[in-house]
Chains A and B, each alone.
Chain A
Amino acid sequence: MSSSMHTTRTGDAAQAPTTDQRAHAAPLVSATELTVTYRGSSTPALDAVDLAIDDREAVGIVGESGSGKTTLGKALVGLQEPTTGVVTVAGRRWSSVKRNDPLRRRVQMIFQDPIASLNPRKSALDTVAEVFKVWKRGTVDDAATLLERVGISRRDATRRPAQLSGGQCQRVSIARALACGPDVLVADEPTSSLDVSVQAQILNLIDELRAERGFAFVLISHDLSVIAHATTRCVVMHTGRIVEIGPTGTILRSPTDSYTRRLLESVPRLPPASSTVPRWASTTEKDG
């Protein structure tokens, strides 16, 4: 299947690549000429966006507020209806997929606010077990095991979100998403509300789970360094349009688009890690 259609853009002497130039097998999720305009607004939140997510890949969608990245994420999982254009999953349009269609399991999402993502009245175990129950894929014990895999002990699993930390709540959300057995996981700013040390825990966890289970990962973030760490392909968005798309490393090293360059220049940078900063494999776990 050849790559998707072009978006035409005016101006720019050096045309940054805005479409997928790769040849790929049928993508799992793809957006075609996707436009979303919210009611009451004159400017579109998304303007003729084309994007395909392939099997097992890690894509980053980076942009500032108003770039449309969250809207794009929601459209990819079927939460946002296109105004024009279409989003397809395994060849079917989202609008034709019913609520309880098994296809829904294949694309899951985690959100920015860890505590608001969970039902305040359900314990972590209940939340994850519900997925297994609804889809008849396992028992409560399977839910407990999955929670342990993401770092929630059996004791913590009985707690409600208000009694868990932000990082723990995010782990529960991840477990809930994974309980569906998805092929694509979309994460909308999953670590923005977390401390940097907890962010590292969550990002590493997702890396491991990807290696184990092989799902595609779409990471939406305003933080270029997080995108740099976790993704191999990067989509830069600005005011509802894709302004640049390509391998993450290439974009970071030699961005073509002027906005991308401005974005990169604005990111505050730590001095490169000098050898005098001690590094260790992992901090030890002493139950204090």
Chain B
Amino acid sequence: MLKVTELSLAIAGRQLVSNVDFEVPSGGCLGIVGETGSGKSLTCRSLVGLLNPIGGAITRGSIDLDGHDLTDFTEREWRRWRGSRVAFIPQQSLSSLNPLMRIGEHLEETLRALAPDGDTRSRAADLLEQVQMPRVAEVLRAYPHELSGGMRQRVMIALAIAGRPSLLVADEPTTALDVTVQREILRLLTGLRADLGMTLVFVTHDLAVVSEVTTRLAIMYAGMTVESGPTAAILDAPDHPYTAALLNAHPSLTEGDTLTPIFGSPPPAGEWPTGCRFASRCPYHSARCDIALPSAVQVDPDRWSRCIHPAHDERDRP
């Protein structure tokens, strides 16, 4: 079980994420949804301890994974955990693979790091089969640029699950892929989650994807979580106005639907107002919203929202 409480992150002293809360039970699938600048990528990096390379640090809060507090981890502890307990799939698969190394070498290098003995070659082939890669023998000998985007993403997944992690964090794994390939990759990830009993954390900007794939949802805006809870419940009856606005702005496959845009843009980090950060764009905005950041209100036993005007409250409708 992964539970994040009041997480705050900063880079070089600048607060970029604050007040992030969400949780997901073991074996579940959490979607972190947000637009540009919401802090979702940074948050998912903090889950795998990859803040240091970009000069980031956790300033507050806790990340609890099966009883371990990841915020306290030293670099050494992370090195032991990464790959074997916690794994990460970064956003850009092409730039994450060494263009001079064949796929087989990538896989064997990772396998050797995890378990120095053993037949890495056949295990590499096994891994590729596990991610349903076609023509395994050819792919092992190929270079990254010779593979399609979908195949490269399968390689990234294979590298991530090589150590049989209990938590897999994927940063926009299907954003750059064609929709038919995306469907296959999502199916693959869901299947692997079941087979390996992993907890999956999925960062994306696409609400439709999370609605199909995830069991729990955390919506992020301007560096904080505005709503978190079970996916179906949130999408069916959103509590926070931003969630509702996102749903209204999302085109569906129905012809001639109206789209309601959200005007303006999120306040950049460093220009956060003292009150609610969505207030200036919110139809329910009232003077009370500007006083202080709303604390997380419990809407249901496992559902939270940071709004003093819950979207379903009739009296407050504009």
A, B co-complexed: yes
| Chain A residues within CB distance 8 Å of chain B | 64-65, 165, 167, 195-201, 203-204, 222-226, 228-229, 248-249, 252, 262-274, 276-288
Whether A276 contacts B312 in the complex (CB less than 8 A), given A64-B179, A270-B211, comes out as yes
Task: Say what secondary structure dominates the interface of chain A.
Answer: loop
**Interface-facing stretch out of B60-68, B151-159, B232-240:** B232-240
Closest 10 CB pairs of A and B: A288-B280, A200-B261, A266-B183, A64-B178, A197-B262, A276-B237, A201-B261, A195-B35, A268-B208, A200-B259
Per the bound structure, the CA–CA distance linking A262 and B183 in Å amounts to: 10
How far is the CB of B50 from the nearest CB of chain A, in Å?
Answer: 24
Say yes or no: B253 contacts A225, CB within 8 Å: yes
Say yes or no: A270 contacts B235, CB within 8 Å: yes
Say yes or no: B180 contacts A263, CB within 8 Å: yes
Q: Does B52 belong to the interface (CB within 8 Å)? A: no
Say yes or no: A274 contacts B285, CB within 8 Å: no
How far is the CB of B2 from the nearest CB of chain A, in Å?
Answer: 24
Residues 203-214 of chain B, each 1 if its beta carbon lies under 8 Å from chain A, else 0 = 001111101110
Whether A267 contacts B179 in the complex (CB less than 8 A), given A195-B36, A200-B249, comes out as yes
A-B CB contact pairs (8 Å), 23 listed: A195-B36, A196-B205, A196-B249, A199-B249, A200-B249, A200-B260, A204-B259, A225-B252, A229-B251, A252-B255, A262-B180, A268-B182, A268-B208, A268-B212, A273-B247, A274-B237, A276-B237, A276-B312, A277-B238, A277-B311, A279-B248, A280-B283, A288-B280
Per the bound structure, the CA–CA distance linking A97 and B162 in Å amounts to: 58
- Size of the chain B interface, CB-CB below 8 angstroms: 57
Quick one: closest A residue to B265, CB to CB?
A165
Whether A226 contacts B281 in the complex (CB less than 8 A), given A274-B237, A284-B318, comes out as no
Q: In the assembled complex, which residues on chain A have CB atoms less than 8 Å from the CB atom of B248?
A: 277, 279-280
Say yes or no: A267 contacts B253, CB within 8 Å: yes
How far is the CB of B270 from the nearest CB of chain A, in Å?
Answer: 14
Task: Say what secondary structure dominates the interface of chain B.
Answer: loop
Beyond contacts A64-B180, A167-B265, A222-B179: 13 other A-B pairs, Cβ-Cβ < 8 A, are A64-B181, A197-B261, A200-B251, A228-B253, A252-B255, A267-B253, A268-B206, A268-B212, A277-B237, A280-B248, A281-B260, A282-B261, A283-B282
Q: In the assembled complex, which residues on chain B have CB atoms less than 8 Å from the CB atom of A285?
A: 263-264
